[in-house]
Amino acid sequence: MHSSPWGWSDVVESWSWPEHVGKPIVVEVYAGGDEVELLLNGESIGRAPVGREHRYRARFEHAYEPGELTAVAWRDGKELGRTVLRAADGAVVLDVAADRAEIAADASDLAYVAITLVDDNGSLHNTADRRVEVAVDGPGTLQGLGSANPVTEESFTDSTCTTFDGRALAAIRPTGPGTISVTVTADGCDAQTVRINAR
Burial class (CB in 10 A: 0-12, 13-18, 19+), 189: middle
27, 38 Cβ separation under 8 angstroms: yes
173, 138 Cβ separation under 8 angstroms: no
Spell out where 87-163 has E strands.
Answer: 93-98, 102-103, 111-118, 131-137, 140-146, 160-162
| Count, residues in the chain | 199
What homologous superfamily is domain 93-198 in, according to CATH? Immunoglobulins (2.60.40.10)
42, 84 Cβ separation under 8 angstroms: no
**β-pairing verdict for 78-86 and 57-63:** unpaired
Distances, alpha carbon 89 to alpha carbons 41, 118, 166, 189, in Å? 15, 9, 14, 15
> Domain ranges in the chain?
18-86, 93-198
- Same CATH fold, 93-198 and 18-86? yes
Q: What is the pLDDT along the chain (199 residues), one digit of tens a residue?
A: 455 666 667 888 899 999 999 999 999 999 989 999 999 999 999 999 998 899 899 999 999 999 999 999 999 999 999 999 999 999 999 999 999 999 999 989 999 999 999 999 999 999 999 999 999 999 999 999 999 999 999 999 999 999 999 999 999 999 999 999 999 999 999 999 999 999 9
Domain spanning 18-86: CATH 3.40.718.10: no
**β-pairing verdict for 192-198 and 102-103:** parallel
